Amino acid sequence: MNQSTSRRSFLRQASMASIGFLGLQMFVATTLQSCGEHSTPNKEKLLRSKYGKLKKDKEGVLNLPKDFSYKIIARMGEPMSDGLVHPDKPDGMATYIGSNGRVILVRNHELMPTNFSAFGKSYEHLEKVDQSKFYDFRNGNLPCSGGTTTLVVNEDTLEVEKSWLSLTGTLRNCAGGSTPWGTWISCEEIVMPRKNGYEQSHGYNFEVPITEHMQLADPIPLKAMGQFNHEAVCVDPRTSIVYQTEDRKDGLIYRFLPNEPGQLVKGGKLQALAIKGSKRVITRNWETDGQKFPINKPMEVEWIDFEQVENVENDLLRSQGFQNGAAKFARGEGMWFGNQELYFACTSGGLTQTGQIFRYTPSPYEGTREEAKQPGRIELFLEPNNGELLKFCDNLTVAPWGDVIFCEDHAKPRVVGITTSGQFYQIAENVGFQSEFAGGVFSPSGRTYFVNIQHAGLTIAIQGPWINTRKRKWRLKA
């Protein structure tokens, strides 16, 4: 995969994303008007839209619509091509164009040292890995086992032709995001000081090269991007500015201005979003906050600089930022860049704490001294306050044809989608495991949706009569 191919794919998806989110807004607005803001819509009507009612799975894993099928392509404990085994807790993912129609799939693993890792139940495979490739080896005393794995998938057969550990020695790699220059940013959702046996401090982003050749990434922490509970990132292809969410009930929204576009390792400036003219705005709309952040009212923003981008004892970044005027958000999670705008989910925002979606439109002069003339704008795009419509939205993605697809994080999770015309539909229901869905993402061709059942340690490929794919037989070439 070359850089120009990656950028074309990135821009094509970005151009469809905004259309998809407008469909989501249309669906929620129409349903709330017809049902009442806090009443329950007709569930049967919702479930039967687009692909029809879900069919019961004889294997007891996933219920899917008629004519859809799934295949478990990776399972915790099974061997990988590099002599290690598939780790537990797969989370955020991304896909890239491989050679000869292959799909390169990169997966995060949200692991602590005591979780089941690529090194085996008793760390029996640990000696197969070069110790210098660990970010934190912990002196060999249960090394940090978080990181990423990479799979090369034949999309025609859904066979995994190659799989390997591609980043190691980190902690709780939760989500992240793709870059226009063809890499994956893997994020640690934890802050851990350098003590109690840890050789390194944690709470950083790491960049993973995308390749079909088995190799471990050099574990370089991108410290200038901040030390906090990272969740997801997205990149503006126009400016290479990176936006970041923080999965905390009092989290911030960050942006990172790189010193050199496409070269995150060369440092830059970290900032936090604030509402222009109003300090310490709370956007959650919880009754206990005593503040009401308006829906569908774009507000100009400004960005607060940090003097110190790593945690100081008893002085977290989010508390520094809030005290200096930054806005507070409720568990920022999935994030996606659209057509000159970005969207992000706040999992526990809203009056009923069942989720919000925000839209940010960057300034034409984003990241420059001129942006004060025409600031970027933030808008609370959706707050349904109705669990049948949106409940604890976690990871989200945009299909190549514009549908917004999101994974829910609760006791009976669903994978649900919204068409560009505002039609709601279910894709999958987890009936086999007490676990959230995580990392849902489409292949570049749109033929396959990959998703994890995180606490079962499964990665699953779903295929079916997706819109715009029944007649399309073309393949993207690297």
Q: What confidence tens digit (pLDDT) does each residue in 251-261 have?
A: 999 999 999 99
> Is residue 277 in a domain?
yes
The predicted pLDDT at position 411 comes to 64
How much is the pLDDT for 477? 39
Q: Does residue 305 register a pLDDT over 90?
A: yes
Helices (H) and strands (E) in the chain, counts: 3, 26
Q: Is residue 23 part of a domain?
A: no
Residue 82 lies in a domain: yes
Task: Give the pLDDT band (50/70/90) at residue 478.
Answer: very low
How high is the pLDDT of residue 3?
A: 60
* pLDDT of the residue at 196: 84
Q: What is the pLDDT of residues 21-68, one digit of tens each?
A: 777 777 777 765 555 555 555 554 554 567 888 999 999 999 999 999
Q: Name the band, by pLDDT with cuts 50, 70 and 90, for residue 140.
A: confident
**Predicted local confidence at residue 47, as pLDDT:** 47
Counting the structural domains of the chain, the total is 1
pLDDT at position 398 is 86
pLDDT at 476 over 90: no
Cβ pair 303, 264 in contact under 8 A: no
> Which residue did the predictor score with more confidence, 476 or 343?
343
pLDDT at 402: 84
Highest mean pLDDT of the ranges 4-8, 34-38, 170-174, 388-392? 170-174
Does the pLDDT value for residue 12 go beyond 90? no
Q: What is the pLDDT of residue 5?
A: 57
107 in a structural domain: yes
Instruction: Of 250, 197, 253, 204, give the one whose Cα is nearest residue 229.
Output: 204
Q: Which of residues 307 and 109 earns the better pLDDT score?
A: 109
DSSP 251-265: B--EEEEESSTT-GG
Q: What are phi and psi of 205, to 5 degrees?
A: -95, 150
Task: Output helix, strand, coil percentages for the chain, rounded to the nearest 5.
Answer: 15, 35, 45
pLDDT at residue 475 greater than cutoff 80:
no
Rounded to the nearest 10°, the torsion over CA 417, 421, 424, 429 is -30
Q: What is the pLDDT of residues 407-443, one digit of tens each?
A: 877 667 889 888 877 777 889 999 999 898 999 999 9
pLDDT over 90, % of the chain: 69
Report how far apart, in Å, the C-alpha atoms of 213 and of each of 82, 163, 198 are. 11, 10, 30
What's residue 141's pLDDT?
Answer: 87
Within-domain flag for 33: no
Average pLDDT, the chain: 88
Q: Residue 432's closest CA among 74, 57, 156?
A: 57
More confident residue, 147 or 32: 147
The confidence band for 13, taking pLDDT boundaries of 50, 70 and 90, is low
Interval 266-288 mean pLDDT: 96
Query: What is the per-residue pLDDT for 414?
Result: 85
173 touches 148 (CB < 8 A): yes
Q: Above 60 in pLDDT, residue 151?
A: yes
Confidence check: pLDDT of 122 > 70: yes
Lowest mean pLDDT among 47-56, 92-101, 107-116: 47-56
464: in domain: no
**Residue 390 belongs to a domain:** no
Rounded to 5°, the CA angle 257-398-58 comes to 135
User: What would the pLDDT profile of 452-469 be if each residue is shown by its tens digit?
Assistant: 999 999 999 999 999 754
Compute the average pLDDT of residues 293-304.
Answer: 96
pLDDT at residue 311, as a whole number: 75
Residues 68-89 pLDDT 10s: 999 999 999 999 999 999 999 9
| pLDDT at residue number 9 | 66
Is there a domain that residue 233 lies in?
A: yes
The answer on pLDDT for 391 being more than 60 is yes
Give the per-residue pLDDT at 11.
60
160 lies in which domain range?
Answer: 3-15+73-385
Residue 256 or 381, more confident: 256
Is a pLDDT exceeding 80 seen at residue 10? no
